Amino acid sequence: MKHDIIPVVMVGAGPSALAAAIYTTREAIDTVLYEKGVVGGLAAITDQVDNYPGFPDGIAGMQLAEQLQKQAERFGAKIEYGDVSALRHENGVNIVTVDGKDMAARAVLIATGSDYNKLGIPGEKELYGRGVHYCATCDGAFYKGKRLAVVGGGNSGVQEAIFLTRFASHIDLLVRSTVKASKVLQDELRPYIDDGKVAVHVKTVPQEIVAENGAVQAVRAQCDGKPVEFAVDGVFIFIGLKPNTQFLAGSGVELDARGLIKTDEHLATNVPGVFASGDVRSGATMQVASAVGEGATAALSIREYLDRK
């Protein structure tokens, strides 16, 4: 089957892909981005981004996404909505299946990001970015002097709870079974427990996040089988990330144990002409600023790859 070959296809249209597209299209490399959700990814559905350089007063996540999109489109990037379900390399080109149709590309950038594992309880989805958060570095500073619930007893849950103590007046750490973080992290947490800054509640399963007038008021949970309610101003959930790499099954692209894409220092994968950047990449820092930087790096690597072809 003969395909028209697109120079660059990008899977995803979050900050990393949009930054990469700015670079490729400025150099007159035709670039098409396929996005199945929201242009801007997780950044677009974040209420306020305070740690992205260049915005001293912060910027709404949706506004940042819109500006990145406009800049990429200004140089000729084409953003299409479509669900990429497969990728394969054959006869020196990469075939991307979008909504059941095959598209051929000389180079592919995978920038599909990761999604936060969810509790799946009432109030979680409705209050996302407005009292329910999945990134302490991104949103912790909004809760100076406030009470918080942190959900999760693994390394990330304990580590982020420790980080949030610099802002919150009190933290209730809600742990489904027992605390499974490393001994080092548990030792770091101990002083905060001893001085009452953090209270650890094991065998505690959140059931509902309660809000009033759009503001989080409490978390209702089952603690060792008994109902309990924690009065809080915000909830931070750290029960893991799920990389958006399911569509790569059978592609030959190498993943790490967590399902993140392995790359070399040039952000190239083990499959010729396939690159990865941003939160879907093994070793990523899960920050917008670094995702944008990786997008620029990937674009330069793609240009060099195309020049060699």
- According to the model, what pLDDT value does residue 17 have? 98
Length of the chain: 309
Enumerate residues 6+ apart whose C-beta is below 8 A from 262: 254, 255, 256, 269, 270, 282
- According to the model, what pLDDT value does residue 129 have? 87
- According to the model, what pLDDT value does residue 26 have? 96
What gap in Å lies between CA 229 and CA 207, rounded to an integer?
Answer: 10
- The identity of residue 9, as a single letter, is V
Please report the domains of the chain, with CATH numbers, ordered by start residue. Answer: 5-115+241-308 (3.50.50.60), 118-237 (3.50.50.60)
**DSSP sequence for 179-197:** --S-HHHHHHHHHHHHTTS
- According to the model, what pLDDT value does residue 1 have? 41
Residue-by-residue pLDDT tens, the chain, 309 positions? 445 899 999 999 999 999 999 999 999 999 999 999 889 988 887 777 888 999 999 998 889 999 999 999 999 999 999 999 999 999 899 999 999 999 999 999 999 998 889 999 999 999 998 999 988 878 899 999 999 999 999 988 999 999 999 999 999 999 999 999 999 999 999 999 999 999 999 999 999 999 999 999 999 999 988 999 999 999 999 998 789 999 999 999 999 999 999 999 999 999 999 999 999 999 998 899 999 999 999 999 999 999 997
Return the closest-CA partner of residue 110 out of 309, 289, 271, 307: 271
Eight-class DSSP state of 168: -
Return the closest-CA partner of residue 31 out of 295, 309, 290: 295
**Torsion angle of C-alpha atoms 120, 121, 127, 130, degrees rounded to 10:** -80
CA 243 to centroid of chain Cα atoms? 8
Return the closest-CA partner of residue 282 out of 305, 304, 303, 254: 254
What gap in Å lies between CA 8 and CA 10, rounded to an integer?
Answer: 7
- According to the model, what pLDDT value does residue 96 have? 97
